Amino acid sequence: MVSLMQPYMDVESSRSYIDELYSPSGQKCLEAIICLKNSVIGSNRQKGSVIAQGVVPRLLQLLSDSTGRVGDRVRLESAVTLGSLAKGTDQHVRALIELNVVPLLLQVLLASTNRCNEPDDDNQTPLVEACLRCLRTVFHHTAAPVHAIYQDPGLVPRLLALASKSVTNQVCVATILTAACKQTAEEQNALSRGGAVGALATQLDSPLSDVQLPALACLANMCYQNHTVSALVAAATTNSSQGRAVPVALGQLMGRERSALVQLEAARCVAYMHRAGALTSTDPRVVYRALPCLVRLCHRERPPRERVAAAETLAYLTEVDTDLQRLASISNHLISNLAELLKPHPSVLDATLSQDMRQAAFRAFASLGANDEDIRKRIIETENLMEQVVGGLQDPGGPRVRLAAVRCLHSLSRSVQQLRTTFQDHAVWRPLMQLLHGADRGLEGRGLEGEEDLLTVASSTLCNLLLEFSPSKEPILESGGVELLCSLTRRPDPALRLNGIWALMNVAFQAEQRVKSQILSCLGTDQIFRLLADPELAVLMKTLGLLRNLLSTKAHIDRIMAEHAAHVMQAVILVLEDPEHPADVKEQALCILANVADGDRARDHIMANEDVLKKLMDYMMHSNVKLQVAAIFCVCNLVWREEDGAAQRQARLRELGLYRILQQLRHTKDSQLFEKVKAAMSQFTDA
């Protein structure tokens, strides 16, 4: 007989013991499982051998047998052995997943909760713990079917009921729920409905950091971008008898005396609750606890992984609030500490960690510099910072560092002064264009995940570099900028269409005739009409803005209208006739007409179109004052007495009754409208 303390044994040379797993003798089966368990502990080679020999299905069969034939000890050792196999390589865990280990473990756990009031409940505790440990290990794998815990609405409450039975259960259940909550609203709400908020809040009172940590991680995942759950967490208490509010507990868990991991997770909870609207930016837990805690953990003397997590969370916490950005930027040398993450670290040999460090620093800089010019200036003046950003745009390690670098660049590009100086000194436009062309080709070929986000942020940055005062504008256009932007307007992603048309609008502002002609030729009238019919209002507005910029300067207006008059007039009429368009859209269309009316020959296209003239009169009497002002501005350009043919145009408009409308509008109480009416009437020769 084999001793239950059997030492390590080579499974490949002990086929008899594998055979005994199928023995009808419970004792022999138990001895074989223990032999098997001892052999695979600490040996990936042995784990692979066991899986390859088809032992796992038998272990699952034994674990699932609740009839009493095999005994609780056999089931326990089967669960422990499966847990050991789950700690093997990626392929080992995948094999277990493919053999449906997760549904079976959940089935066993469900059955155990049904027996929770039976006298032999204590006998189930080791089996439950072993199953929870195994499930926790499997759920760490990216391919784990974590959604399985939501298939039965009663499963989450039952898992939480098991958590109250022991410390091990608390740790495992919270870790399992954390892995199963991928920060989607559906998962967050399912956990909330199952009672997770109250159960996890209770764990915050534990004196053990191992119990607190997974509870904090799960609460943070549940709060991410979910106002409803965040509000529930903010209102929850850790223990009904003490009544300590969860935000108070979180504030205490960010104290320096706590472990760094606990501080980080507590700060992440607060950051997510704030961004979800459950805590204000002036809440003491945000201003005096989370923000200083995260800044402190970004210090160069902290371990690299800790600094990465702190910088990422700080970036999210401060992303949209100017006051938090200003406070963070002047705290504990934060900017120089973040810059340290971008430098090569001889002690960091892990390439992935090195990329994480760079990504975190770029993201934090992007958030800090989002709104304040002084902060942007201090970031840019940090030694070698711009060289690091430019290098980040060309990072060979995949799109994530490049995306973080371009987000940083986008934030810094909001500075007019830096666009004129630093951005030009470092020729930032060149790697940005290379990145845009590369991401564009990646999307065409269905490239790596993240390329679309990269293209979106990079094209947003390009919009800023194409502003009229930017020295980067000309070299970008010479490098195929117009063609690239026109291609973006044809993308299915509305954000890319918006960035493409917005950048073209910037290019067209006060541009030379050759550039305007290039835009019209490359974009094409058919695409312009598609953009005018775009379901995204912002795309429509920027398309009208593009037309308005194209139709500026008399010579340009006349030349463009000579070639495209029919299309331009049709586009304006379509917008003015659509009852669904808001006033801002129609105002843009009327401003385009006003620009056309400023052309020496182009205005004839308005005068010859009675439909357009009647629409002008309708809008002069509109209930919206700004549309009245825009329509009268167009009339003013048509009747300007110093222009050739003004007398004939005035006579034609009098004949249509337009002058009578102006006379009626003299009595308006709106000062801006009154001034426009007065200016228009003054142009009529006998006014």
The structure tokens listed for 85 are 């196999």
Per-residue pLDDT reduced to its tens digit, 452-467: 889 999 999 999 989 8
Over range 6-32, report the average pLDDT: 72
What value does the mean pLDDT of the chain take? 91
Q: How confident is the model at residue 2 (pLDDT cuts 50, 70, 90)?
A: very low
How many other β-carbons are positioned within 10 Å of the β-carbon of residue 569?
20
Beta partners for residue 237, in sequence order: 245
The structure tokens listed for 176 are 């399992």
* 454 close to 499: Cβ distance less than 8 angstroms: no
Nearest to 563 by CA among 609, 592, 605: 605
Element holding 360 (H helix, E strand) = helix 351-368
* 115 close to 61: Cβ distance less than 8 angstroms: no
Nearest to 465 by CA among 565, 393, 541: 393
Over range 337-349, report the average pLDDT: 87
pLDDT of residue 121: 55
Distance CA 101, CA 118 (A): 26
The structure tokens listed for 6 are 């059997």
Nearest to 464 by CA among 452, 472, 474, 454: 472
For residue 356, pLDDT beyond 80: yes
Distance CA 650, CA 587 (A): 23
Distance CA 40, CA 19 (A): 17
The alpha carbon of 173 is separated from its chain's Cα centroid by a whole number of angstroms, namely 28
pLDDT of residue 443: 55
For residue 588, pLDDT beyond 80: yes
Over range 475-494, report the average pLDDT: 94
The structure tokens listed for 221 are 């995942």
What is the total residue count of the chain?
687
pLDDT of residue 399: 87
For residue 444, pLDDT beyond 60: no
pLDDT of residue 351: 87
Q: Which of 60-74, 88-102, 216-230, 506-520 has the lowest mean pLDDT?
A: 60-74
* 192 close to 222: Cβ distance less than 8 angstroms: yes
Over range 213-231, report the average pLDDT: 98
Over range 345-359, report the average pLDDT: 87
* 504 close to 482: Cβ distance less than 8 angstroms: yes
The structure tokens listed for 345 are 């670290």
- The DSSP secondary-structure symbol of 287 reads I
The residues near 333 (Cβ < 8 Å, ≥ 6 apart) are 299
Show the 3-state SS of 290-318.
HHHHHHHHCCCCCCHHHHHHHHHHHHHHH
pLDDT of residue 25: 85
Nearest to 597 by CA among 626, 568, 563: 568
Higher pLDDT, 596 or 23: 596
Pinpoint the alpha helices (H) of 369-488: 373-380, 385-393, 399-412, 416-420, 422-425, 429-444, 451-465, 473-478, 481-488
Radius of gyration of the chain (CA): 34
Residue with tokens 């979800």: 276
Largest CA distance in the chain: 122
CA atoms within 13 A on the CB side of 665: 30
For residue 3, pLDDT beyond 50: no
How many other β-carbons are positioned within 10 Å of the β-carbon of residue 675?
13
The residues near 261 (Cβ < 8 Å, ≥ 6 apart) are 209, 213, 306
Q: Which of 238-247, 302-311, 402-411 has the lowest mean pLDDT?
A: 238-247
- The CA distances from residue 507 to 11, 151, 490, 571, in Å, are 71, 53, 18, 21
* 175 close to 136: Cβ distance less than 8 angstroms: yes
Q: How confident is the model at residue 350 (pLDDT cuts 50, 70, 90)?
A: confident
Per-residue pLDDT reduced to its tens digit, 237-272: 997 566 789 999 999 999 999 999 999 999 999 999
Distance CA 606, CA 592 (A): 11
Q: How confident is the model at residue 10 (pLDDT cuts 50, 70, 90)?
A: low
Q: Is 247 helix (H, G, I), strand (E, B) or coil?
A: helix
Q: Which of 275-289, 386-400, 486-500, 557-571 has the lowest mean pLDDT?
A: 386-400
The residues near 419 (Cβ < 8 Å, ≥ 6 apart) are 413, 464, 465, 467, 469, 470, 471, 472
pLDDT of residue 437: 85
* 530 close to 524: Cβ distance less than 8 angstroms: no
The structure tokens listed for 322 are 């100017």
pLDDT of residue 119: 43
Residue 626 exposed, middle or buried by CB count within 10 Å (0-12, 13-18, 19+): middle
Element holding 229 (H helix, E strand) = helix 227-235
pLDDT of residue 344: 84
Distance CA 295, CA 287 (A): 11
pLDDT of residue 447: 45
Q: Which percentage of the chain shows pLDDT scores above 90?
A: 78
For residue 330, pLDDT beyond 90: yes
Q: How confident is the model at residue 122 (pLDDT cuts 50, 70, 90)?
A: low
pLDDT of residue 7: 42
pLDDT of residue 15: 63
* 443 close to 476: Cβ distance less than 8 angstroms: no
pLDDT of residue 5: 41
For residue 492, pLDDT beyond 70: yes
Residue with tokens 């300590």: 244
Q: Which of 9-18, 141-150, 537-546 has the lowest mean pLDDT?
A: 9-18
Residue with tokens 């020295």: 471
Q: Dump strand ranges (E) for 30-83.
A: none
* 134 close to 86: Cβ distance less than 8 angstroms: yes
Q: Which of 122-131, 367-376, 628-637 has the lowest mean pLDDT?
A: 122-131
For residue 69, pLDDT beyond 60: yes
The alpha carbon of 570 is separated from its chain's Cα centroid by a whole number of angstroms, namely 39
pLDDT of residue 4: 39
Sequential DSSP letters for 469-504 = T-TTHHHHHHTTHHHHHHHHTT-SSHHHHHHHHHHH
From first CA to last CA, the distance across the chain in angstroms is 120
Distance CA 543, CA 588 (A): 10
Distance CA 115, CA 117 (A): 6
Per-residue pLDDT reduced to its tens digit, 566-580: 999 999 999 999 999
For residue 445, pLDDT beyond 70: no
